[in-house]
Structure 1
Amino acid sequence: MTLPDTGDLSIKNVTKTFGSTTAVDHVNLEVQRGEFLTLLGPSGSGKTTLLMMIAGFEDASSGDIALDGASILNVPAEKRNFGMVFQGYALFPHMTVRRNISYPLDVRKRPKSEIESRVEEMLALVQLEGFGDRLPKQLSGGQQQRVALARALCFAPPVLLLDEPLGALDKKLRIEVQAQLKAIHDRVGTTFLYVTHDQEEALSMSDRIVIMRDGKIEQVGTPNELYEKPRTVFAADFLGKSNFLERSEATYALRPEKIDVAPSGDLQCAVSVTGKIQTISYFGAVQKLMVMLDDGKCLEVDVDIWRNRNAFSVGQVVDLGWTDDAVTKLEG
């Protein structure tokens, strides 16, 4: 599908203060047309405040926000023509699915034939054909979220803003809707700006991820770049799990799945240490071991159960090893 001819967002030195608190601190960010970009960070990192300023629901204290090169700071939210999807769905309970989806077109007074055609197109897009005459209460949470997505996309907005949209779903359903959401993005080509604190969600769907911390951008990159080459301790610790090693006054990150483990004396690696298993946690495909080294430091190790048939036990002495390229030097 051809990408819309609009949707480039430019955030230039944007700051938001609430009294003496700085929620967003001089953020600069370019969002490319058709991109799926995720703002990722813990509570209080500024990601939702930044999204609300882009939407027009919060005023920036300083800086500028531009769409396709033109500032939108003085454009009210309802005139920015952005789609919005929230965690709580915000569907009209007394309206059918079809009426919920058509609502943005109704208020824009589009021709009836155009509305009917567009609604059917949206129902097909979110795989809810045949559900048009149901009420929201007759749908599952995942179906309601897809209706909210269809409503937000039906008027072909240049940008779709999504604020923790899957937070109300259980884990299994959330994973299913993640895949559907990414497939829909690929089909419609609209710029998606997504907010979440869920690392797996960000990794699985995003073209790029913006890690935020204390109102500032910590690091920006593709999921692979951020996971394999985090620049800071915070980025390495927040996106996935990392062990931190101190060498020659520098800190290095080592992912748990990049550590080989074997009974003492059985391991041949470029780098190896010995330790004693403190705890074992079972997660189906993976066992997580906490291993205390001789110097008292604990390392977390992920063991692929299918490929490693060793039967480990608490108190067992084991060798841990990794290759030189398994570690990443951090800035601080």
Structure 2
Amino acid sequence: MTLTESPTGIGVAFHSVTKRYGKMTAVDGITLDVKAGEFLTLLGPSGSGKTTLLMMLAGFQDVTSGDILVGGASISGTPPEKRNFGMVFQGYALFPHMSVKKNIAYPLEIRRKPAAEIERRVTEMLELVQLGGFAERFPHQLSGGQQQRVALARALSFAPRVLLLDEPLGALDRKLRADVQEQLKEIHQRLGTTFIYVTHDQEEALTMSDRIVIMNRGKAVQVGSPVELYERPATTFAASFLGKSNFIRKDGRTYALRPEKIDAAPAGTGTGEHRLTGTLRAITYMGATLKLMVDVPGHGAIEVHVPTWRNTGQFSESQAIDLCWSHDAQVEVEGGDGEEAGARPA
């Protein structure tokens, strides 16, 4: 099977899936359809239930109630080894005594594939993850990023239609993580395999996903494309967890306002549909942007991000400045009393 002949992914459906440990509910009635060939990310803080949901799909955890369907058929009671999913973990889980080639071949060997098919498939996988010259090396001779690519090649070697990835890049440094993110997205696009990815990293989710499921306390808070979730968050939690947001309450409603959507100008010179005036408390240089923390009476501290190249030398601490924004920059969100996300009453 050549790369261009790799099978397309398969759809996955969670129907009111719940997982309880005694009185503690880890996953609370999740209903979700994953499209065939989709790159779907489960995003949330520690304890949100994202990994538990993935482990139930993999078969490593039992479902307390509800059902999981793959390709329209229930997989309840199907043991993990019969589900035929590829899996990639943060810790790589490579066999240290096996070469790269042997690690990738292992899933095919236990499936008793012909030797010629194994050889061909291993060669294809090495090409796919750009490790063609590393076949005879051992894991200890590889960098962390290379080891993770070997783990990915091994998980894809038997052409699973669903690949499960649990925090796979968590052990990599920032530069390596960015490189592997790009490779993962490219591999997904080439193969058409259904990817279900777990992370707490917002940037990973925004960069790679077709859709994101924001999870908190066992529930799916909001589901949508990266653009939909970032531009139109539905709740204070979604707005604060995916990116940064300021929360301004007026007329009994809470509005989310992204720091980069606020214009800053010396007091008395700002223009916009909405304007607040405050005192600049702190300036932080962040490379491409300056982060301004502004104390606004009745609203507390508001964070603003402005382009560095356009604002160098314009602001100083203790300066009075105007904060302005357009009406469509603010998004009304649900948040109860707003305490979890830090909403500030007007």
TM-score normalised according to structure 1 size: 0.98
Match of 1:271 in 2: 274
Q: Report the CA distance between 1:298 and its aligned residue.
A: 1.2
Match of 2:121 in 1: 118
- Rounded Cα–Cα distance in structure 2 between residues aligned with 1:194 and 1:182: 11
Match of 2:83 in 1: 80
Flag the 1:275–1:3 CA change in 2: closer, same or farther, 3 A. farther
Q: Report the CA distance between 1:2 and its aligned residue.
A: 6.4
Match of 1:19 in 2: 22
Give yes or no for contact 1:7–1:159 (8 Å, CA) kept in 2. yes
1:45 partnered with 2:55: no
Match of 1:321 in 2: 324
- Rounded Cα–Cα distance in structure 2 between residues aligned with 1:56 and 1:190: 19
Give yes or no for contact 1:11–1:30 (8 Å, CA) kept in 2. yes
Q: Mind listing any 5+ residue stretches in structure 1 that lack a counterpart?
A: none
- Rounded Cα–Cα distance in structure 2 between residues aligned with 1:172 and 1:187: 23
Deviation readout 1:58-104 (Å, 9 max, x if unpaired): 00001101110110011100000000000000000010000000000
The one-letter amino acid paired with 1:171 is R
Deviation readout 1:135-170 (Å, 9 max, x if unpaired): 001000000000000000010001000000000001
**Greater mean alpha carbon deviation, residues 289-298 or residues 107-116:** 289-298
Q: Mind listing any 5+ residue stretches in structure 2 that lack a counterpart?
A: 336-346
Q: 2:70 aligns with which of 67, 72, 75?
A: 67
Alignment: residue pair count: 332
SS at match of 1:119: helix
**Greater mean alpha carbon deviation, residues 295-304 or residues 13-22:** 295-304
1:157 partnered with 2:160: yes
Match of 1:32 in 2: 35
Match of 1:7 in 2: 10
SS at match of 1:320: strand
SS at match of 1:306: helix
1:56 partnered with 2:59: yes
- Rounded Cα–Cα distance in structure 2 between residues aligned with 1:106 and 1:313: 66
SS at match of 2:309: coil
- Rounded Cα–Cα distance in structure 1 between residues aligned with 2:198 and 2:33: 16
Give yes or no for contact 2:6–2:159 (8 Å, CA) kept in 1. no
Match of 1:303 in 2: 306
Give yes or no for contact 1:6–1:68 (8 Å, CA) kept in 2. no
- Rounded Cα–Cα distance in structure 2 between residues aligned with 1:27 and 1:264: 49
Give yes or no for contact 2:248–2:299 (8 Å, CA) kept in 1. no
The one-letter amino acid paired with 2:211 is R
**Greater mean alpha carbon deviation, residues 239-248 or residues 2-11:** 2-11
Give me the identity figure in percent: 64
Q: 1:200 aligns with which of 183, 203, 208?
A: 203
Ranges of 4+ aligned residues in structure 1 off by more than 6 Å? none
Q: Report the CA distance between 1:331 and its aligned residue.
A: 2.2
The one-letter amino acid paired with 2:66 is G
Match of 2:229 in 1: 226
